[in-house]
Amino acid sequence: MKKIHMVDLIGQYNQIKEEIDTTIAETLNTGMYIGGEKVKTFSENLANYLHVNHVIPCGNGTDALQLALMALDLKPGDEVITTPFTFVATAEVIKLLGLKAIFVDIEPDSYNIDPIKIEEAITPNTKCIIPVHLFGQTANMDAIMKIADNHNLFVIEDNAQAIGSNVIVKGEKFKSGTIGHIGTTSFFPSKNLGAFGDGGAVFTNDPELARKIKLFGNHGSSKKYYYESIGINSRLDALQAGILDVKLKYLDSYISARNIAADRYDQLFLGTDDIKIPYRVEYSDHVFHQYTLRIKEHRDAVAEALKENKIPFGIYYPQSLHHSEAYKESRDFHCPVSDQACKEVISLPMHTELTEEIQSHIAKIVLEIVK
Ligand SMILES: *Cc1c(COP(=O)(O)O)cnc(C)c1O
């Protein structure tokens, strides 16, 4: 069997090589490497795909989160509610801006932030909620938006793992990341819409928030060499925008391929006592950024066996954020559901080029340990 990848970026590139090579050559030949037509076109096409008024491209998904928070004009000490079961960037930007991260536990099935526990964590200082649409499935936005409306809170959706997912809110269908006041995403190569380097974007329907996000991402300047505020430098470059514009056309077919692979894994693992296959919530479809099993007894043994057989896997995440050294002032938050998930989750190779043969091979190794 050929080498198994966690994400097969080369296989995916080879399928669309001609188009990708063409856009790269076009950019190289214009000399317009920052800004320009490619960035503008991609931003417009992404806005159309998401049905959102404003897409502001930026340097990466972490900057996208930071820019989103900067646009809200919060004061030091204001509280931002988020999940401890996420990539660090979500919480990092809260702390970087001098805000207080309030960690709220997750739902055991979806791994997304638990709306009931959000309600309990709200204080007079709460200003914003940042749900993360983990592994490719949106958080319960219907419940979260109700809470936000009742308490007058901002909502920033960290959509780095769920771009393209559809979600039902108040009986209406939306693309994930476009329900809250602001949505953010990452174009890190392994994400579902991945560049060939770093990239990110912020989306919003609010023109004033869009103006601020753009301003803060461009050194606080809307007129060259005049500065309205302190900002950062965060841009998507033209090469990445061109590549992303090609891949955006295929995003829905990539999502279908991931779902086919996920269903195949499901069939292979179904009916095994110690294995829980990914749960599907009823209000959101799943774009399977990760295919994550929950294995109560034998997770570490399975990880060991996969390693021995040279099969890549991921433990997303091995530790709730509030237990890591950098967040020790948050250590008293009580998130037992997240802590338990950290001990039981394991993510298997998931990408658009997976075959039945590869998946059966992986499943056999997992099942030998668990059975
Ligand atoms: C990848 C990711 C980010 C950060 O994206 P970068 O482009 O690597 O900065 C933020 N949040 C979540 C949930 C992610 O998975």
Please identify which residue in the block is written with the tokens 């037509």. 37
> Are 218 and 328 contained in the same domain?
no
H-type alpha helices, 71-124: 89-96, 115-121
- Half-sphere exposure of residue 183, counting CA atoms within 13 Å on the CB side? 30
Residue 1 within any structural domain of the chain: no
pTM recorded for the entire structure: 0.97
Residue 2 within any structural domain of the chain: no
Distance (Å, rounded) from C-alpha 169 to C-alpha 145? 9
Q: Give the Å distance between the CA of 312 and the centre of ligand 1.
A: 20
Q: Give the Å distance between the CA of 365 and the centre of ligand 1.
A: 30
Distance (Å, rounded) from C-alpha 201 to C-alpha 58? 5
Minimal-distance CA residue to ligand 1 atom 14: 160
> Are 83 and 222 contained in the same domain?
yes
Residue 4 within any structural domain of the chain: no
Ligand 1 residue neighbourhood (C-beta within 6 Å): 60-62, 86-87, 89-90, 132, 158, 160-161, 186, 188, 198, 200
Task: Decide: 49 and 198 in contact? Cβ < 8 Å.
Answer: no
Length of the chain, please?
371
Please identify which residue in the block is written with the tokens 């901002």. 154
Q: Which atom of ligand 1 is nearest to the CA of 186?
A: 7
Residue 207 within any structural domain of the chain: yes
Please say which residue of 187, 213, 248 terminates a domain: 248
Please say which residue of 248, 270, 304 terminates a domain: 248
Q: Which atom of ligand 1 is nearest to the CA of 198?
A: 7
**What is the DSSP track for 244-288?**
HHHHHHHHHHHHHHHHHHHHHHHHHHTT-TTEEPPP--SSB-B--
Residue 151 within any structural domain of the chain: yes
> Are 220 and 360 contained in the same domain?
no
Residue 125 within any structural domain of the chain: yes
Q: Which two tokens stand for residue 187?
A: 């174009």
Q: Which atom of ligand 1 is nearest to the CA of 191?
A: 1
CATH number (domain holding residue 295): 3.90.1150.10
> Are 231 and 148 contained in the same domain?
yes
Ligand 1, pocket-test mutation among 6, 7, 62, most atoms within 8 A of CB:
62
> Are 215 and 294 contained in the same domain?
no
Neighbours of 220 (CB within 10 A): 16
Distance (Å, rounded) from C-alpha 322 to C-alpha 319? 8
Q: Give the Å distance between the CA of 273 and the centre of ligand 1.
A: 33
Q: Could you list the pLDDT tens digit for every one of the 371 residues in the chain? A: 678 999 999 999 999 999 999 999 999 999 999 999 999 999 999 999 999 999 999 999 999 999 999 999 999 999 999 999 999 999 999 999 999 999 999 999 999 999 999 999 999 999 999 999 999 999 999 999 999 999 999 999 999 999 999 999 999 999 999 999 999 999 999 999 999 999 999 999 999 999 999 999 999 999 999 999 999 999 999 999 999 999 999 999 999 999 999 999 999 999 898 999 999 999 999 999 999 999 999 999 999 999 999 999 999 999 999 999 999 999 999 999 999 999 999 999 999 889 999 999 999 999 999 98
Residue 340 within any structural domain of the chain: yes
* Closest by Cα among 338, 283, 340, 285 to 114: 338
Q: Give the Å distance between the CA of 188 and the centre of ligand 1.
A: 7
Is 164 in a helix, a strand, or coil? coil
> Are 255 and 224 contained in the same domain?
no
Ligand 1, pocket-test mutation among 92, 130, 161, most atoms within 8 A of CB:
161
* Closest by Cα among 124, 132, 106, 101 to 332: 101
Strands (E), the chain: 54-58, 79-82, 100-103, 126-130, 154-158, 166-169, 172-175, 182-186, 200-204, 275-276, 291-295, 345-348
> Are 164 and 267 contained in the same domain?
no
- Half-sphere exposure of residue 77, counting CA atoms within 13 Å on the CB side? 2
Please say which residue of 248, 269, 289 terminates a domain: 248
Q: Give the Å distance between the CA of 121 and the centre of ligand 1.
A: 25
Residue 3 within any structural domain of the chain: no
Q: Are strands 275-276 and 291-295 parallel, antiparallel or unpaired?
A: antiparallel
> Are 212 and 261 contained in the same domain?
no
Number of structural domains (the chain) is 2
> Are 318 and 277 contained in the same domain?
yes
Q: Which atom of ligand 1 is nearest to the CA of 89?
A: 10
Ligand 1, pocket-test mutation among 67, 87, 234, most atoms within 8 A of CB:
87
> Are 83 and 136 contained in the same domain?
yes
> Are 84 and 211 contained in the same domain?
yes
Q: Which two tokens stand for residue 214?
A: 């753009």
Q: Give the Å distance between the CA of 191 and the centre of ligand 1.
A: 9
> Are 227 and 281 contained in the same domain?
no
Domain span at 152: 9-104+113-248
CATH number (domain holding residue 240): 3.40.640.10
Q: Give the Å distance between the CA of 349 and the centre of ligand 1.
A: 18
Q: Give the Å distance between the CA of 65 and the centre of ligand 1.
A: 9
Ligand 1, pocket-test mutation among 83, 137, 186, most atoms within 8 A of CB:
186
Q: Give the Å distance between the CA of 62 and the centre of ligand 1.
A: 6
Q: Which two tokens stand for residue 168?
A: 């039902």
